[in-house]
Amino acid sequence: MAATSPITPVPPRAKAAGEAPSVAERPAVVGLVLAAGGGRRLGGRPKALLDHGGRPLVERAVRAARAGGCAPVVHVVLGAAAERVRERADLAGCVVADNPDWATGMGSSLRVGLASVRDAPRGGLGPGGSPSGAGASAVLVLLVDQPGVGAEAVARVVRAHRAGAGLVAAAYAGRRGHPVLFARQHWARVAALAHGDRGARDFLRAHAAELTLVECADVASCADIDTPADLRLLDPDR
């Protein structure tokens, strides 16, 4: 019998100087869409279900997160008319969390969303092997009622994180807006300070010196939909 040669493992190829990391090596950013609002000033029309190009508005925010570089598994917080949103919106591949206290304001939805990401399966993988939260380095928060915030604004915020920033927000003519990104080490404190309709404002104010602002006014609009007059923002051609 011929002697067999020992199998020598092939070492990984060394990266050339300046070579960008592979997709697998990049910090995983998980998108979190807050879509629980009941649209009180819109006559009780849930914001997630507002029509945008013939589809529920919540789908646009999910697409923006994915196309902007977040992991394919996006976390979505629902509240008002949650069952109707589930029936009408295509949220395939999303982790959907319910906020029974949605009427108390954005703070409760942010807490529910951060818990959803934090408590994702320990393996850190969702459908198709995508990071779902447990393996994420950061969470990026989008609001459902800002249809002018798209993939390019998300991408700029994600790039700032991958360059080393742990607390990042889009800016519009120098003023802080969404999306906002929180590195994992901030999640517990953000949740602890999220109350009423203030969301993460108190946390961001307390950590202003650590916040990286990324100008996005040239590619996005932070205008939100609160009143019937704002419904013009739903025109896909705007």
pLDDT, residue 39, reads 86
**Residue 19 burial (10 A CB sphere; 0-12, 13-18, 19+):** exposed
pLDDT, residue 25, reads 52
pLDDT, residue 6, reads 41
Distance CA 96, CA 146 (A): 19
Q: How does pLDDT run along the chain (238 residues), one tens digit per residue? A: 444 434 333 444 444 554 444 444 567 999 999 999 998 888 878 999 999 999 999 999 999 999 999 999 999 999 999 999 999 999 999 999 999 999 999 999 999 999 999 998 754 445 444 555 668 999 999 999 999 999 999 999 999 999 999 999 999 999 999 999 999 999 999 999 999 988 999 999 999 999 999 999 999 999 999 999 999 998 866 5
Distance CA 233, CA 227 (A): 11
Q: Which residue has the tokens 């990026």?
A: 140
pLDDT, residue 1, reads 44
CB 70 within 8 A of CB 179: no
Cα–Cα nearest to 85, from 106, 102, 64, 110: 102
